Amino acid sequence: MKNILTIFKKEWDRVIRDKRLVFGIMLLPGLMIFLVYSFIGNTIESSQNNAEYQVAIVNPTDSFQSIYELIQSSATVTVESIQTSEIDAYQQMIDDGDWQLLIIFDEAIETYTGGVDKPSVEVYFNQNKSDSSGAFSLFSNALMQYETLLSYDIYGDTSSFSTIFEGTPLNESELTGNLLASLLPMLVVMFLFVGSMAVGPESIAGEKERGTIATLLITPTKRSEIALGKILSLSVLSLLSAISSFIGIILSLPKLMMAQSMDIGIYGFTDYIMLLSLMFSTVLVIVGMISIISAYAKTLKEATTLIMPLYIVTILIGLSSIMGNGANSNFFLYLVPIYNTVQTMTAILTFNPNTFIYLIITISSNLVLLLILVFVLNRMFNSEKIMFSK
């Protein structure tokens, strides 16, 4: 136990005493994520707020104007009345991306009283341009309402049923929970992996490549103590790195989702403790797997290359949180590493009633896997073929 602590402390000091590493591993990930996601959120928000729709209408009517003026939009809408002779010129402008929408009303649009020859409404827009499509979408709604209005004047109330919209009252917590559960599990698993990659290969493959691990293997320290000391220390460091990223994403998420009112205060102390223990048990498994690959690799470069497929698989498993609808209810699937983390985190974030059971199964399964990984790493440290291969 004493030796595990000694090795733990040395691995810890190797990172903590190096200001550049502390900045690169602990602060930079969170800062970068916050800045990048906030930037993306701001850009999307400003592009939507700054949208300008220029709409030309041939034969405009007052009733149509009263309809589109009532439709709310963050875009600035300018409507111009034009003559039939100008149609070609405006269509060209739309094709060139200089104008967004052209609506041509039939002269008889409001004098039609029924019969075969229905008046027409032509709408011209450029579907290759997002602003033109935006304007089309906005005015399509207005046109539908306008059509209903004119039909009522001619035919009276033709609807066969009236629709009453009712439902569960809006639950902000559930809404926020579902939103977070669709994104956070994948991101957190990614952050845990990236954090582990930043410190794991260097500590084992790097030491092996530089010949410093042999100096350690010559001491009377048990190989299992070396394996555990390294895994525990690297796990804590990776967890700190992941927490930095986690804080970055939590701070920037409202901006990214353009939901300024998104309240992460819906989660209590117990939820955060569950999240932390889940993350720690997961990082132990990830660091264990990375350590084994690093011990197998002859060089640091080889270790990084060999770890990449595992990283890709982790991301793919992480995607299950986006594709799934809440946490999986099959208990056996909580024995599968990484997948169990993604599902349990989804359960925590969505206030699933079985969360605690999922958490217990996941942590137990991760700890059993950790023991297996430590055993394998211990065997690898004992293998001269692996440790001294050139």
Interface residues toward other proteins, by CB under 8 A: 2-3, 6-7, 10, 13-14, 17-18, 207, 210-212, 214-222, 384, 388
Spatial distance between the Cα atoms of 262 and 175, rounded to a whole number of angstroms? 9
Spatial distance between the Cα atoms of 22 and 11, rounded to a whole number of angstroms? 13
Q: Between residues 14 and 379, which has the closer beta carbon with respect to other proteins?
A: 14
Rounded least distance, CB 384 to other proteins, Å: 5
Rounded least distance, CB 219 to other proteins, Å: 4
Longest dimension (CA), the chain: 100
- For 25, the token pair is 């591993």
Element (H, E) at 105: strand 101-105
Q: Between residues 6 and 61, which has the closer beta carbon with respect to other proteins?
A: 6
Rounded least distance, CB 11 to other proteins, Å: 11
Q: Between residues 7 and 57, which has the closer beta carbon with respect to other proteins?
A: 7
**What does each C-alpha distance from 121 to 92, 104, 124, 152 come to in angstroms?**
19, 6, 10, 18
Q: Between residues 224 and 364, which has the closer beta carbon with respect to other proteins?
A: 224
- For 321, the token pair is 């949180």
- Mention every residue, 6+ apart, whose C-beta is less than 8 A from residue 127: 133, 136
Rounded least distance, CB 301 to other proteins, Å: 17
Rounded least distance, CB 193 to other proteins, Å: 24
Rounded least distance, CB 294 to other proteins, Å: 16
Rounded least distance, CB 197 to other proteins, Å: 19
Total Cβ atoms within 10 A of residue 108: 13
Quote the Cα angle for 85-90-91, to 5°.
Answer: 105
DSSP β-bridge partners for residue 82: 58
Spatial distance between the Cα atoms of 78 and 57, rounded to a whole number of angstroms? 11
Provide φ and ψ at 244, rounded to 5°.
-60, -45
Q: Between residues 2 and 88, which has the closer beta carbon with respect to other proteins?
A: 2
DSSP 299: S
Q: Between residues 215 and 270, which has the closer beta carbon with respect to other proteins?
A: 215
Q: Between residues 16 and 31, which has the closer beta carbon with respect to other proteins?
A: 16
